[in-house]
């Protein structure tokens, strides 16, 4: 950010007009306008006065910092690189924890975020007080860590039925569901189910509905967050697996955002009511705004994570 942009930003932060700043400097308002547009640079005396009124150091005004432009960062490459390095306290590390905690908690997991973090960082369980952890919650948490890694490895590949089935298999491995033959882990459901009280595709129709959905999606010439959300809604309407459809559906959205260099997002547990309402409104009333806004809000939250972990590294 150059000095003109900084003067404007500080002025607006102080809720001052150009005329008010001009009075402090003893110049015409047009001069302040020229400062902010970059047509003219203030002299040292004016810089000192500006630093006093903005309550910053002169150096803060003079430092020419390049703006942090997220659009220039390939998030998929960053996550892959950080995964390979294996260091803690970076974007990949915290994506794993927040994704596993929130997506599982939405579906009823009793593990806390601290317990999820502890499992990821130490490969052991943290019990708080008299807390009793469900063994399936533990397995599905550790499985989700593996699922994110598999998703990152395949994120730039074309979405296929086989890939989606593998997502489900990884998520449900070693759980009690995996011991039930009718549950059909890693393959489409055998028993009818529902989603939020709404009917879903019957078991006999799932395969053809999934083929149709994937053919539609892969035929798109361009993919934006709008099409990714549309795919998610159609996927949840089919509800192809006996259980785990929401988590598989959300990992697909994350994958496809990475594939198309769109900022990915994690639906937070605190926003699950908005998420569920958005799905229902989309399906029942064809009202797309609720779910789209929920996803865009989640995207904003992930942008904050990106800025926190990457801004210093990519701003130079």
Please state the φ and ψ torsions of residue 123, each to the nearest 5 degrees: 60, 35
- Cα dihedral sign for 187, 193, 196, 201? positive
- Any domain includes 173: yes
39 lies in the same domain as 122: no
Using one digit for the tens of pLDDT, what is the confidence trace for 166-211?
999 999 999 999 999 999 999 999 999 999 889 999 999 999 999 9
- Any domain includes 300: yes
- Any domain includes 146: yes
Parent domain of 219: 72-314
Q: Up-side HSE of residue 127: CA atoms within 13 Å toward CB? A: 7
CATH code at 144?
1.10.3290.10
**What is the predicted pLDDT for the residue at 315?**
53
148 lies in the same domain as 26: no
For residue 290, count other CB atoms closer than 10 A to its CB: 18
Q: What is the pTM of this model?
A: 0.81
- Any domain includes 67: no
The residue among 28, 62, 96 that closes a domain is: 62
**What is the predicted pLDDT for the residue at 64?**
65
Burial class of residue 270 in the structure, from the number of CB atoms within 10 Å of its CB (0-12 exposed, 13-18 middle, 19+ buried): exposed
Structure tokens at 33: 């306008």
154 lies in the same domain as 207: yes
- Any domain includes 179: yes
203 lies in the same domain as 109: yes
- Any domain includes 204: yes
78 lies in the same domain as 21: no
Please state the φ and ψ torsions of residue 169, each to the nearest 5 degrees: -60, -45
Give the DSSP H/E element, type plus range, for residue 37: helix 29-37
- Which residues on adjacent β-strands are paired with residue 199? 194
81 lies in the same domain as 186: yes
CATH code at 49?
1.10.260.40
87 lies in the same domain as 41: no
Residues of the chain whose pLDDT is less than 70? Answer: 1, 64-67, 130, 314-316
**What is the predicted pLDDT for the residue at 60?**
83
- What is the rounded end-to-end Cα distance, in angstroms, of the chain? 11
19 lies in the same domain as 166: no
Measured CA to CA in angstroms, residue 220 lies from 209, 210, 213, 223, 314 at distances of: 17, 16, 11, 7, 32
Number of domains in the chain: 2
- Any domain includes 217: yes
**What is the predicted pLDDT for the residue at 316?**
43
Measured CA to CA in angstroms, residue 293 lies from 170, 195, 255, 275 at distances of: 30, 21, 19, 9
What is the rounded distance in angstroms from the CA atom of residue 69 to the CA atom of residue 287?
32
271 lies in the same domain as 292: yes
101 lies in the same domain as 227: yes
Structure tokens at 300: 């904003």
- Any domain includes 202: yes
Task: Report strand pairing: 194-195 vs 198-199.
Answer: antiparallel
What is the rounded distance in angstroms from the CA atom of residue 2 to the CA atom of residue 237?
50
């Amino acid at each position: 950010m150059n000095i003109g942009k900084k003067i404007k930003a500080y002025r607006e932060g102080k809720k001052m007009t150009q005329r008010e700043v001009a009075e402090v400097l003893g110049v015409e308002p047009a001069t302040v306008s020229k400062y902010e547009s970059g047509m003219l640079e203030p002299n040292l005396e004016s810089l000192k006065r500006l630093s006093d009124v903005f309550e910053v150091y002169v150096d803060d005004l003079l430092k020419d910092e390049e703006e942090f432009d997220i659009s220039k960062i390939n998030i998929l490459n960053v996550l892959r690189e950080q995964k390979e390095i294996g260091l803690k306290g970076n974007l990949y590390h915290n994506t794993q924890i927040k994704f596993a905690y929130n997506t599982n908690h939405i579906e009823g997991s009793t593990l806390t975020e601290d317990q999820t973090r502890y499992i990821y960082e130490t490969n052991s369980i943290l019990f708080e007080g008299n807390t009793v952890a469900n063994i399936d919650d533990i397995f599905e948490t550790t499985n989700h860590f593996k699922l994110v890694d598999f998703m990152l490895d395949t994120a730039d590949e074309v979405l296929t039925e086989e890939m989606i089935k593998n997502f489900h298999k990884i998520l449900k491995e070693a759980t009690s569901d995996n011991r039930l033959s009718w549950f059909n882990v890693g393959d489409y459901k055998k028993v009818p189910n529902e989603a939020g009280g709404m009917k879903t595709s019957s078991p006999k129709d799932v395969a053809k509905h999934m083929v149709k959905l994937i053919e539609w999606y892969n035929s798109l010439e361009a993919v934006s967050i709008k099409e990714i959300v549309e795919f998610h809604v159609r996927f949840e309407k089919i509800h192809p697996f006996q259980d785990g459809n929401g988590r598989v559906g959300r990992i697909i959205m994350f994958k496809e955002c990475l594939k198309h260099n769109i900022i990915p997002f994690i639906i937070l547990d605190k926003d699950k009511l908005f998420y569920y309402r958005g799905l229902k409104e989309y399906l029942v009333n064809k009202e797309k705004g609720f779910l789209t806004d929920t996803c865009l809000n989640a995207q904003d939250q992930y942008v904050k994570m990106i800025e926190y972990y990457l801004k210093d590294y990519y701003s130079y």
